[in-house]
Each structure stands twice: as structure tokens, then as C-alpha cells.
């Protein structure tokens, strides 16, 4: 067990190093020059000044030396210095990671909880209206882009029925504090979290329904029913624990896709998270900030996969025994 954990952690570290090198190489060979963008925003510069900037940021060195230097800094916890914000990248990410985790965590947990309930009820009544509704919801969720869903929700709940704020994480005046500030943030969180949750609710509800149908036909469930156990006990104690395994597994494996979807949602709703910061960094060719965000996102995805593996082993005693 211990050797297996060490091997998994070693593979995770090697994967992060490979992702870091690949991201660095792809961004630096892509068209565009961050120094030219920076000089353009400064109002221009002489060729000597441009050369000094390249030397200052290490862009005049060969690519392999830049990669080796960057790897050494990352090992020490240094993700570089932002070209646009004039701040350490770690400081920028630390200031934006909270809103992103709040948005992604709320949307993901809401989608899992709601889809589990929908899957349980629709599986018990296969030909009911709810069962057909889950199928239609799944098809609609797969077809609708995140930004389109966000815009439609804005038109419905912020324009036609003005009950929710359009953008931001809190009111612009910033006068609220304590409990009132928390309520204000939750009020602004509803639309972006709902947008992101609807996208993944469609898939998870369908998956939960299919998993529950399969579990209900298994031998141990039939045995529990034959013993005369109450239907509610059979469903929620015996069947649900195994039926929720695929949902938990796919939720962990798709955590990276949730973060990428959050980029679009944060941009639509001007949510001050890592997605908005990544979008701004792309437009401004802020290479150090973009590399830091990509690396941090990779760490989050790898950590989530390891956590998912741990949770699945805790939920399923068969995997734990193996």
C-alpha cells in the first residue's frame, strides 16, 4: 500500500514536470512577442531599451536554457514576475484562487448532489416524466456552450426578471462587511455557479441514472429485497453507495474540464478568479502569469485525481480490499 502511494506520487511529480516543460515550450514558440506588447502599452521604446527588456526577462537566451532556469525557480516556489501587473505571479494567483475555488466547488458539489437525487428517483421509475426529463436535460446540456448558457441566464434572471446581479463578486460600493458581505457574495455567486453546474448536471444526472439502474439489477440488491428489507433501506443504504461511485470518479477526472469551463463563465460574469486572470494574460501576452496559472491548474487536477482515487477506495470496500 505504501509502495503504491509512493509510485503514484512519483508519477504525479513527473507528469507535472512534463506539463510544465510542454506549456513553456508551446507558449514561447507561439506567435507574438510579450516585450513588443509591453513596449506598445508603454508608448514605445528604442531598440536598445527593447534589447535591455529582453535581457532583463531572459528572453534573449536559448529556449532550453530558459526552460531549465524556469524549472529551477518553480522548484523553489518562484513562478516568476508578471509582465503586466508588475507583481509576483504567486501573489496574483493567491489573490484569485479563492473566487475560482468557490465557484468551481459550489458548481461541482451542487451538480453531484442534484444529479444523484435525480438519478435515484428516475431509475426507480424508468418510464416516468422525471426519467424522460433527465434524458432531455442530458442532451441539452451536452449541446449548450457554457458562455451561451450564461448569457441566456443573464437575459432571463438579470434583464427580464432583475433579481440577480449581472457581474462581479460583490457590490461595487464595498460597504458591506461580515454577514452582509457573505450574503452579497452568495447573491453574486448564484448566476455563475448555476451556469457552470447546469453544464455538468446534464452529464452526471444521466450517468447517475444509468449507474443506479445497473445496481438495482445486481444480485445483492435482489437478495436484500428477498429478505424483506424496506425499499428505502435497500435504495439508500445498499444501492446508492455503489451507484454513486461512477459519479465521484468522473467528477474527479473531469476536474480539469470544470476549471477550463470556469474560464468562460468567469469571463462572461466578470468573476475575479483565475479564469479571468488567464483570459487577460492571454490578451496581454503576460507569459509568466499564464504559465503560473497553467502550472497551478495542473497541480489542482493531479491533486484532485489522487483525492478521487482515495475517495473511491474509501467508498468501495472491494477496491480497498484489493
| Nearest 10 degrees: Cα torsion 263, 135, 158, 279 | 10
pLDDT of residue 211: 83
What are the grid coordinates assigned to 104, written together? 468551481
**How many domains would you assign to the chain?**
2
Question: Quick one: average pLDDT of 259-284?
Answer: 85
Is the same domain home to 28 and 130?
no
Question: Residues 35, 59: contact at Cβ < 8 Å?
Answer: yes
Going by C-alpha positions, the residue among 142, 137, 131, 150 that lies closest to residue 193 is 150
> What is the extent of the structural domain holding 245?
101-321
Closest CA to 8 of 249, 233, 310, 247: 310
> Based on the domain organization, do 187 and 307 belong to the same domain?
yes
pLDDT confidence tier of residue 204, bands split at 50, 70 and 90: confident
Does residue 108 share a domain with residue 68?
Answer: no
Query: Of the ranges 141-150, 167-176, 203-212, 292-301, which one carries the lowest mean pLDDT score?
Result: 167-176
The answer as to whether 281 is a domain residue is: yes
Q: Do residues 132 and 63 share a domain?
A: no
Identify whether residues 263 and 129 lie together within a single domain.
yes
Counts of helices then strands in the chain (DSSP H, E): 16, 0
- Residues 71 and 199 occupy one common structural domain: no
Taking only the tens place, the pLDDT of each residue in 37-95 is 677 766 667 778 778 877 877 777 888 888 888 888 898 888 888 888 888 999 999 99
User: Do 129 and 231 share a domain, yes or no?
Assistant: yes
Residues 115 and 53 in one domain: no
- The answer on 202 and 160 residing in a single domain is yes
Res. 321 pLDDT band, cuts 50 70 90: very low
Closest by Cα among 146, 112, 150 to 247: 112
> Virtual CA dihedral for 169, 104, 89, 23, nearest 10 degrees?
-140
Amino acid at each position: 500500500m505504501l509502495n503504491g502511494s509512493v509510485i503514484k506520487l512519483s508519477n504525479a511529480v513527473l507528469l507535472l514536470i512534463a506539463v510544465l516543460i510542454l506549456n513553456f515550450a508551446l507558449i514561447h514558440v507561439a506567435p507574438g512577442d510579450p516585450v513588443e506588447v509591453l513596449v506598445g502599452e508603454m508608448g514605445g521604446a528604442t531598440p536598445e531599451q527593447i534589447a535591455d527588456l529582453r535581457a532583463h526577462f531572459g528572453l534573449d537566451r536559448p529556449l532550453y536554457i530558459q526552460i531549465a532556469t524556469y524549472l529551477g525557480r518553480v522548484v523553489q516556489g518562484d513562478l516568476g514576475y508578471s509582465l503586466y501587473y508588475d507583481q509576483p505571479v504567486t501573489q496574483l494567483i493567491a489573490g484569485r484562487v479563492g473566487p475560482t475555488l468557490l465557484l468551481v466547488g459550489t458548481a461541482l458539489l451542487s451538480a453531484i448532489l442534484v444529479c444523484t437525487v435525480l438519478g435515484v428517483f428516475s431509475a426507480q421509475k424508468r418510464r416516468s416524466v422525471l426519467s424522460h426529463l433527465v434524458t432531455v436535460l442530458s442532451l441539452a446540456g451536452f449541446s449548450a456552450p457554457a458562455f451561451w448558457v450564461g448569457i441566456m441566464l443573464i437575459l432571463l434572471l438579470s434583464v427580464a426578471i432583475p433579481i440577480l446581479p449581472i457581474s462581479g463578486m460583490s457590490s461595487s460600493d464595498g460597504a458591506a462587511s461580515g454577514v452582509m458581505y457573505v450574503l452579497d457574495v452568495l447573491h453574486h455567486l448564484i448566476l455563475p455557479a448555476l451556469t457552470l453546474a447546469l453544464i455538468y448536471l446534464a452529464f452526471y444526472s444521466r450517468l447517475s441514472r444509468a449507474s443506479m439502474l445497473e445496481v438495482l439489477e445486481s444480485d445483492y440488491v435482489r437478495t436484500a429485497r428477498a429478505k424483506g428489507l424496506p425499499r428505502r433501506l435497500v435504495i439508500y443504504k445498499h444501492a446508492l453507495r455503489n451507484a454513486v461511485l461512477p459519479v465521484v470518479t468522473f467528477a474527479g477526472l473531469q476536474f480539469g474540464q470544470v476549471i477550463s469551463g470556469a474560464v468562460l463563465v468567469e469571463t462572461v460574469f466578470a468573476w475575479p478568479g483565475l479564469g479571468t486572470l488567464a483570459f487577460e494574460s492571454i490578451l496581454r501576452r503576460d507569459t509568466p502569469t499564464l504559465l503560473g496559472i497553467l502550472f497551478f491548474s495542473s497541480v489542482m487536477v493531479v491533486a484532485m485525481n489522487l483525492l478521487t482515487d482515495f475517495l473511491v477506495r474509501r467508498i468501495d470496500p472491494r477496491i480497498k480490499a484489493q
